[in-house]
């Protein structure tokens, strides 16, 4: 799995969540601009932020990282 695939899965999970980026940002303790960077640029969250993001999105980190398909 390439980094671009991981970023794509993260973007897709954010979009599929139905949660606004500003609300995601509040829940994980970053700015809305940072969440936007996860969506539009080659920026990946720090591990602690990634864990919070997976919890908020209700998605397994294994899926985002390409270890599992679900």
**pLDDT per residue as tens digits for the range 10-51:** 889 999 999 999 999 999 999 999 998 888 877 888 999 999
pLDDT of residue 55: 96
Buried b vs exposed e over 15-44: b needs ≥16 C-beta within 10 Å? eebebebeebbeebebeeebbeebeeeeee
For 54, counting Cβ atoms within 10 Å of its Cβ (0-12 exposed, 13-18 middle, 19+ buried), the class is: buried
CATH class of 3-64: mainly alpha
Residue 70 has pLDDT above 80, yes or no: no
Q: Report, in angstroms and rounded to the nearest whole number, the Rg of the chain calculated over CA atoms.
A: 11
What pLDDT shows up at residue 38? 85
The predicted pLDDT at position 59 comes to 94
Under the banding of pLDDT at 50, 70 and 90, the label for residue 68 is: confident
| pLDDT at position 65 over 80 | yes
């Amino acid at each position: 799995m390439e980094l671009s695939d991981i970023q794509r899965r993260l973007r897709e999970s954010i979009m599929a969540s139905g949660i606004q980026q500003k609300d995601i940002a509040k829940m994980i303790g970053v700015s809305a601009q940072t969440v936007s960077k996860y969506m539009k640029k080659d920026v990946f969250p720090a591990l602690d932020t990634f864990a919070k993001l997976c919890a908020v999105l209700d998605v397994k980190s294994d899926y985002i990282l390409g270890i599992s398909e679900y």
